[in-house]
């Protein structure tokens, strides 16, 4: 049986659609959650100071916009690390961060440049860090909690 031109076009478009769906799925699931899980599996803790915060840029009705991101500094054994965390990778507040507050940093013990900032874990002094280290098992078991959008604090 020979296929008509219309049938060939329908088959081609179906295959193209299938490939595009797989491509979009692969693009949007590049392992960001897996990286967070890996960081949490090999976790060590530090104190981070926000040095730059860029709130979310909302898009127009024709564009998506840009996620918020924050740049932070943290020390590990006399080495200063600087890194950026994007709001689309891990929870980052969209509109407001108190830049005077220090936050808990969870970093990968085998690659300290891979980290996550836990904005709902502020650190007032070194005793807070010790408390978080003591409670680390509880914190690390609740990875999904940190993946949720906890952005309740907005400027008033």
Q: Where are the domains of the chain?
A: 32-147
User: For residues 101 and 81, what is the distance between their CA atoms, to the nearest angstrom?
Assistant: 18
Residues 20-29 have pLDDT tens digits of 888 776 665 5
Confidence of residue 17 (pLDDT cuts 50, 70, 90): confident
Residues 65-117 have pLDDT tens digits of 556 778 899 999 889 999 888 776 666 666 777 788 898 898 999 999 889 88
User: What was the pLDDT predicted at 150?
Assistant: 38
Tell me if the pTM is above 0.75. no
């Amino acid at each position: 049986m020979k296929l008509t031109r219309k049938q060939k076009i329908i088959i081609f478009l179906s295959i193209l659609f299938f490939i595009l769906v797989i491509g979009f799925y692969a693009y949007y699931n590049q392992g960001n959650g897996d990286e967070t899980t890996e960081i949490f599996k090999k976790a060590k803790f530090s104190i981070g100071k926000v040095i730059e915060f860029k709130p979310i840029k909302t898009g127009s009705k024709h564009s998506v916009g840009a996620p918020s991101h924050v740049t932070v500094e943290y020390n590990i054994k006399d080495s200063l690390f600087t890194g950026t965390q994007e709001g689309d990778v891990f929870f980052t507040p969209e509109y407001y961060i108190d830049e005077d507050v220090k936050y808990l940093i969870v970093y990968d013990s085998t690659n300290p440049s891979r980290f996550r900032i836990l904005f709902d874990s502020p650190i007032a002094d070194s005793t807070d860090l010790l408390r978080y280290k003591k409670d680390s098992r509880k914190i690390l078991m609740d990875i999904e909690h940190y993946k949720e959008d906890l952005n309740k604090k907005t400027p008033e």
